Structure formats: C-alpha cells, structure tokens
Chains A and B, each alone.
Chain A
Amino acid sequence: MRTTLRGSRVLRAALLAGAGLCVAGTAQAADPMVKACAKDGQFVIGFSQANNAEPYRQHVNDELTAAAKEVPGFTLQIADGAGNVNTQTSQVDNFITQKVDILLISPFEAAPLTPAVKRAMDAGIPVIELDRKTVGDPGKDYTAFIGGDNFKIAEEAGKFTASKLLPDGGEAAVLEGLPSSTPAVERLNGFKEGVKANPKIQIVAEQAADWVPDKAQTAFSAMLQAHPDIKVLYASNDMMAAGALLAAKGAGKDVKIIGTDGLPGPAGGIEAVAKGDWAATFTYPTGAKEAIEMSKKILLDCATSVDANVTVDTTAITPENAKQLAGK
C-alpha cells in the first residue's frame, strides 16, 4: 500500500510555480531534489541506526548493506546510536558535518531526534526515515518515511487471535517490550485493539520483558503460575516469543505463541513457526530495499519528488506459509 501526500505535492508545485514566476524565465519547472545528482556519481549515504544491539536492527543493517552494495556509486556508513538519544543526535550532527548526500535514520525516539533531523534538512540533506518517525509530516519536515505501522501490525495479531486462535474465547496474555518506549506502547495498544473483535477473549496478564528472551521466560513462567489457563501469548518481538516458548515448555503447557518481527535465519521467528513451535509471527518489514531504491531515485535519477509516505505491509507468517518462506 502506498499513499502519497497529494496535498503537499500540490503545494510544492504551487510554490515552485510561484518561485518560477518570481525568477521569471530562469527557473525550470522543477529542480532535482539534490543538485549534485548524477547517473555515475559517487555518493555517501549515512544511516543513523537506533540500536545495533537489537537483532531486528542488525537485520535492517544487513539488508541495507546488501542493497547498497548493488549500487556501484553508493557508500553506506552506519552509525550505532546504542539506544541513547543523545548519542544518536551527535551522530546525526556528525553526518551533517560530513555533508553526506542522504541521511537515513531510524530514530530511537521521535521527539528527541526531531531537532537533529531538522538540522539535516536545513543543511540541504534529504532525510529518509526508516521504521520510526520523528515529529512532523513526511514531505515537509523530512523527505520521506518508509516502514511498517507498529500499531497496525499488532492489531493484525490481535484480530488473528480473535478469529483464528481463540474463536471460542479464552485467556490471553501479552509480553510488552521496554515500557514507555514508542514501539512497546504501540504494539501493546494495537494488540489490545485487535483482540476487542472477540469479546469472549480476556487479557489476563501483561508484563514488560524489555524485548529480551531471558526476562520473557521469567515473566511468562510467573504468568503461567498465576493463570494456568492462558491459551495465547502475544510477544511484542520474536526474542521474547522465544523466551516465552521456554517458559511454556518448562511448565508443560501448550500455549499458542505469536511473535513479532518475523526475523529470518535459524534463530528467527519464521523458522520457529515452520518448526511448529509458535502459532504465528507477524513480520515487521525493514524497508531497506525501498530506502536504497528511493536514494537511487534522488541521487542517480535526479528525481524532483518522491513518495513521502511508503508503508511496507506486514506479512502474517503462519504454519501455511512459514516453510516456504524459511527456505528463502
């Protein structure tokens, strides 16, 4: 699904037209977004990553690196914000100092990174936001957003629970990520919204496990002690789902587990569903390919505008499709 902010395009066209009238005769219909763009140019793309310590984010780095390698003129630099808005802000400022040609960023948190993104835009560097947004509107406050929608992905998982896993109702539980972090809040709220489709389902327990498997195992063990009838567990990421599985096995319970992220590889969620360990996982697409494509449009094809809002849809990984996807 791709949506374009038509309004802002019209506005820009109007502005450009206005500018054209002011500079009568000299202005072209639309200038390329980056003046130095060239088919065979050499360009540096700076990627400000929120936190390499999260497996999902390392997966994004890998996909971006692979996609950038395909383009001869692109050099990709990745800076690790290490889960710290202050560190990430200074890294964005470093990229501005270096005058990278495009800034890609996955902000660790929205509001704190907003001023840094504004500084990049003011310096004439296009900013493509991956996975998480800063405050403001794509197409205006930053060039574009590419990513999934945490709330919607979790809502899908909720609806899947309501219709497929627990059609007759029953007890469900949630493992939340790091409390008060944006994706944790969005996924928790999204899942609860989706489950509302079936009033016979009760969410009997919610615990935070900070995205990590060991805390998830501990938390879910305690939940199963307190609520032995839990039938479904929604884990806000694959890592916690893996921890929850250990807890369920330890308690000798057959719980239907849902992960989030759908990471590839032998330890990832797709494999876990293919093996029959989990009921499902919902992919959180990286948008890496799309980001490099967009960078090519801007830097190599001299695009005058790009889609400001690219939502990459989630895929439900269920026993039906997991085996074929795991083979990829």
Chain B
Amino acid sequence: MSDQKISVAANPPAAAPKHRVDPLAIIVRFQSLIGLVLVAIGGIIFSPRRHGEILFLNPDNIANIVRAVSETGIIAIGMTFVIITAGIDLSVGAVLGLSAVVTATMMISGGFGLISTILAVLAMGVIFGVVQGTISTRFRLEPFIVTLAGLQAARGLALIVSGNQYINISYGDGPGLAPPVFAVLGERLFDNTVPVATIVFIIFAALATLVLNTTRFGRYVYAVGGNERAARISGVPVSMVKISVYAITGFASALAGIVHAGQFNFGSANDGMGYELTAIAAVVIGGTSLFGGAGSMVGTVAGTIMLGALANILQLNNITPATQLLATAAIIVLAAVLQSLVRRREGLGR
C-alpha cells in the first residue's frame, strides 16, 4: 500500500531547538503506520475464517477496504496541507456534494462531455478554495469560521443546482446520458483486483507527498504553520501559501466528488455529509498537529486506511457500529495525547 520507504522529512521550523532525537517523536511520526500494522495484526487474529481462509486477508476484502476509504482519503490528503499551516477546512464534505451534483448535472442535463465536465468541476473546487482562502487571509478571519460558512454555501448551491432533486447518472450515447467510460470509477482494474477509486487516491497521495516533501512550496507550508511571523520575515509569501492550501483542499474535494459521482452513478446535495470530520480524524491520527508546522502525508494515508480496516474487521465480526465509534474516539485521543507529549518534551508548551 503506502510506500514506507519515503522519508517523511518534515522541515522543522527555523526556531526549533536542537536536541537529541526523541524516541517518542519517532513513534509519533510513524504512529499511524504503527497503528495500521496493529489493526492489521488484530484483523488477522480476530478475522472470521471460512474453510481455513482468513477473510480479512481475502483479496476482495482488502480491495473493499481501500475502495471504501478512497473519497475521504483524497479529502484527507488536501486537509493535511491545510492543517500543517495551522488552518482547517470544514467545507470539504459539502464541496464534495456540490461537485458530485455539478458533475451529474453537467453530463446529464447540460450535455457536456466528460473532459470538459471534469475540468470545470475541478476548476470550481479550486475557485471555491481560493475564495475561502482569500477571505480568510484578507480579512484576518479564522479559517474555521470562513470554511464553516463555506460548508453552508456549498450545500445551498448544491441544492440550487440540483433543484432539490437527486440526479441519477445513466450511461450511453446521446443527450441526457453520460459517457460509459465515466463508470470506470466504480470498477476494478488489473484483472478485477484494484478499485479505480483507490488508484485515483494513491496517485493523488503520491503527487501530494512529492509536493509536500520535495518542493519549495512544501517547505513554505511547513514554515507558515511552524511560525508565521518568522516565515513572513524570511520572505515566505504567507498569504499566497495560505490561499494555495485552500485551493488544494477545494481541488481535492472536487476530485473526490467526481470519484463519488462515477462510483455511485449519482449526485445528491447530501453527499459527503460528515466527511470533513472523518478526514480531520485521519489527518490527526496520521500525526499531523492541529497547531501546525508538523505532519506527514504518508501518516495521513496510513491513518485513513487504518480507520477503514478497523471498520471492516468490526463488521466482519458483527460488532455494533457503536463500538466502532468508541474505538475511533479512543484512537483520536491517543494520537493527540502522543503529540502533546512530544511537544511538551520539545519545550514548545501546549
């Protein structure tokens, strides 16, 4: 799955104190990978068996786990950028819904082609993010508030676009039908093994990892989250970086919305409800700090898959959803506590 060999060299903020490498910090850096391994081991131990086969490791089951987390995973990747800058984006689930609705509407009643639809929806997501980022930096507003408003706005727009109706996507050639190739998002490639939605997720994750770990922009993202004043003084275009990360979450949400529409042949204004919280949970479990300045993309991917694997093994054992919620709650708290311990040891207070 996620390539563990990628070194997650979070550039420490310039002001970080020099000290020995803290073993706890190593654990936190890889906490979600460790968590994923633990959940996987637990999954194997507690998996129901049929004719000696461990169901949890059944290829179809693995495919199901990674398919189910694709949409929230794509969103969590965008969210990682935002949270590293110490921001937050609550509009992502609603933008997913809006994007799914616009995708369906453009192809079904608008008569647009596949490529123009996808490009338009992605552009819409980016614009949505740019607007939110600009309002937030320009008027010095908390991103929490701005994106909370963005959430409402996106749901409202989705209802307007869809005329309060859900839009089914039917495939075929001709007016009112979507090109059949779009349905590939709901299928599996490579001899019916790897879900296409997962492939989109993994490619996006790889690109995002590259951007975050190897580009100047990636360094800027860490710098803005680590110490905004220091970053400003050392010539980082802070506003530009901030607007860009919201553009990235807008793009990610739109991409997830397109994947959603293609996977489920459907667009509804209610799609993606609550996804923002699932994504934030995955990011936090992945070791990214809500205080900004530290975090990793690989951690986010592992956190996302871990939550999916946990849900899967609980259902295979017919354990109630309540347990799943409580387990997730415990994991989030544990992840946050670990982080806070590391911060304290580094003398960063809080």
Does chain A bind chain B? yes
**A residues whose Cβ falls under 8 Å from a Cβ of B:** 52, 77, 79-80, 82-87, 89-91, 93-94, 96-99, 109-115, 135, 178-182, 185, 208
Contacts of B318 in A (CB 8 A): 77
- Distance of A85 Cα from B186 Cα, bound (Å): 13
Question: What's the minimum C-beta distance from B344 to chain A, rounded to whole angstroms?
Answer: 36
Output the least CB separation between B178 and chain A (Å): 12
1/0 per residue, CB under 8 A from A, across B168-204: the answer is 1100000000000000001000000000000000000
Min CB distance A192 to B, Å, is 14
B321 lies within 8 A of A82 (CB) = yes
Q: What is the bound-complex CA distance between A203 and B181, given in angstroms?
A: 44
Nearest residue (CB) in B for A112 is: B264
Contact with A along B256-267 (1 / 0, CB 8 A): 000010011110
Q: Which of B64, B164, B260, B321 is A94 in contact with, Cβ under 8 Å? A: B64
- A89–B264 touching, CB < 8 Å: yes
A125 to B71, CA, bound (A): 28
Considering only CB atoms, which chain A residue lies closest to B60 in the complex? Answer: A97
Q: Give the residue name and chain of the A residue nearest to B325 (CB).
A: A82
The reply to whether A85 and B264 form a contact with Cβ atoms under 8 Å apart is yes
Tell me the number of A-to-B contacts counted with CB atoms below 8 Å: 93
Name A98's contact: one of B55, B266, B268, B271 (CB within 8 Å).
Answer: B55
CB distance from B56 to the nearest CB of A (A): 9
A135-B168 in contact given A85-B264, A90-B68, A94-B316 (Cβ < 8 Å): yes
Tell me the bound Cα distance from A115 to B55 in angstroms: 22
Q: For the side of the interface on B, what is the size category?
A: 35 or more
Shortest beta-carbon distance, A84 to chain B, in Å?
7
| Chain A interface main SS type | helix
Whether A97 pairs with B186 at a CB distance below 8 angstroms is no
Tell me whether A111 and B48 are in contact (CB under 8 A): no
Complex Cα distance A171/B315, Å? 49
Q: Which of A85, A89, A98, A112 has the most CB of B within 10 A?
A: A112
Residues of A within 8 A of B65 (CB): 90
Interface mask (B116-127 → A, CB under 8 Å = 1, otherwise 0)? 000000000000
The answer to whether A111 touches B55 (Cβ under 8 A) is no
Contact string against A for B residues 29-71, beta-carbon threshold 8 Å, 1 for contact and 0 otherwise: 0000000000000000000101000010010110011011001
Give every chain B residue within 8 A of A89 (Cβ-Cβ).
Answer: 68, 263-264
Contact B315 A84 (CB under 8 A): no
Choose one: A79, A94, A182; the contact of B166 (CB below 8 Å).
A182
In the complex, whether B131 has a CB less than 8 A from a CB of chain A is no
Determine the residue in chain A with the shortest Cβ distance to B50. A99
Q: Chain B contacts of A109 at CB under 8 A?
A: 166, 264, 266, 268
Bound complex: CA A220 to CA B68 (Å): 39
B332 on the A face (CB < 8 A): no
- For B342, what are the chain A residues with a Cβ–Cβ distance below 8 Å? none
- Asked whether B214 is an interface residue with its Cβ less than 8 Å from the other chain, the reply is no
Q: CA separation between A53 and B48, bound complex, in Å?
A: 27
Task: Return the contact of A91 from the options B166, B264, B269, B315 (Cβ within 8 A).
Answer: B315
A sample of 5 more A-B contacts (CB under 8 A), given A86-B264, A90-B65, is: A86-B260, A86-B263, A110-B168, A180-B270, A185-B165
A93 surroundings in chain B (CB, below 8 A): 60-61, 64, 67-68
Specify which chain B residues have a CB less than 8 angstroms from the CB of A178 in the assembled complex: 270
Cβ of B159 under 8 Å from chain A:
yes
Closest to B169 in A: A111
Q: Which residues of B contact A80 (CB under 8 A)?
A: 320-321
Cβ contacts under 8 Å, B64 to chain A: 90, 93-94, 97
Interface centre among B68, B71, B169, B263 (most CB of A within 10 A): B68
**1/0 per residue B140-159: CB within 8 Å of A?**
00000000000000000001
Give the complex CA separation of A69 and B275 in angstroms: 36
A194 to chain B, nearest CB (A): 20
Structural contact, A84 and B274, CB atoms closer than 8 A: yes
Please name all residues of chain A whose beta carbon is closer than 8 Å to the beta carbon of B164 when the two chains form the complex: 179-180, 185, 208
